Structure 1
Amino acid sequence: MKQRYYFCIRYLPDHADCGLLTGRCISQMHKFMVNNQQAMNQIGVSFPNWGVDSIGDTIAFVSEDKELLIGLSFQPYFSVMKEEELFELSSVSEVREGAAEVRFVRNQTIGKSFIGSKKRRMKRSMARAELTGTESLPVANEEREIDHFHRVLISSGSSKQDFVLHIQKEHVGNRNITNFNSYGLATNQDKRGTVPDIHC
């Protein structure tokens, strides 16, 4: 497989809201991908300081295309945050051989476990039942066991609405092909790309 490259962004403020800053960094990458179609699904994110309590104060971007990463690292938001001494950006470097592989997964089923989502789905079910003349609603078995995850708040550029990414970390044995969603994450089904477990 091809050589991979990465760069890291570390949030410098002592009491930084890591989830918020991570969301802003991912939003910048998403915007970069949308405006550069050759980048679509080619950049993955890694969280070097992922822990039980926090997603960590660092985000890393990984790709087989060094030039793409250089372009991403020069996005105006990152430059401003670096100038203001709020971010520390590393240079684009080669991923060392033998790094452990991990997968950061956007798990959309987690959001369905929260009361707001359940209410919205119940409302839609009731509306469908009314339209079809069904008298009783089906009973859903909603009991789910959910492994550890972190929440990242994202602002949608198109809809101007905020939404939450629920992210889980999986340890995997082998490197998988570069294939990520437009937020640099794997999914439960079709996007199963892995990234190196980077330590910046």
Structure 2
Amino acid sequence: MTKRYYFTIRYIPAHADFELLAGRCIYQMHLFMVNNPKALNKVGVSFPNWDEFSVGQTIAFVAEDKEMLIGLSFQPYFSLMANEGIFEVFNVCEVPGNLGEVRFVRNQTIEKNFLGSKKRRIKRSMVRAELSGKEQPLPVAAEERVVDHFHRVPISSGSSGQDYILFTQKEFAGERVEANFNSYGLATNEERRGTVPDLRF
């Protein structure tokens, strides 16, 4: 298969909010993709220090296009944070061939378990009922969902300016699947199932 490349960013302050910094890095990658259509859905995000407590002190970006990754690594935000002593940005390297495959999945169904989402769905149901002129029963949620371990990565939308959460899970994959990620470099439950190497530092 085609070679892959990666670069990592390590957050230097040991007690930083790693999820918040990951969200900022992912947002910069998202902006980079929007401005570079050939990068769209081709860059995957990996968390080499992921554990049950946090996404870890390092984020990695993985792609087959080395030059594109070099361009991403030189984004002004990353350079600024490096100059401020908050980030250490490493050079682009080739992915070793002996690593397992994982995917970091944005699981939007997790959000449905939270109160704010439930309120929004009930409100939409009431508006639909009002528009149709028929009385409709309120939706009843099956509350007994079992959710595997996840982390919350806060991010802002460039278009709407709204803040929201990327509910992210790590999933082991049996084999490499070609790059196919959402605009945040993550896999999804169904459509986007690209994998990244299981980098661990």
TM-score category of the 2 structures, normalised to the smaller one: over 0.9
1:99 aligned residue: 99
SS of alignment partner, residue 177 of structure 2: coil
Q: Which residue of 2 aligns with 1:121?
A: 121
Report what 1:72 is aligned to: 72
Secondary structure at the counterpart of residue 128 of structure 1: helix
In the other structure, the counterpart of 1:5 is 5
> What 5-or-longer segments of structure 2 have no aligned partner?
none
Contact 2:14–2:57 (Cα < 8 Å) also in 1? no
Give the drift of 1:150.
0.3
1:21-70 deviation line (CA, Å, top 9, x unaligned): 00000000000000000000110000000010111010000000000100
Give the gaps of 5 or more residues in structure 1: none
Q: After alignment, is 57-66 or 156-165 more displaced?
A: 156-165
- Measured in 1, the distance between the counterparts of 2:191 and 2:145 equals 22
Match of 1:170, as an amino acid? E
Matches within 5 A, 1:1-200: 1-137=1-137, 138-200=139-201
Partner amino acid for 1:31? Answer: L
State the alpha-carbon separation in 2 of the partners of residues 126 and 172 from structure 1: 41
Once the two structures are superposed, what CA deviation does each residue of 1:109-141 show, in whole Å capped at 9, x if it has no partner?
A: 111110010011011111212232333414332
TM superposition score normalised by structure 1:
0.97
CA distance in 2, matches of 1:26, 1:89: 14
Between the aligned partners of 1:139 and 1:190, the Cα distance in structure 2 is 27
Give the % identical residues.
67
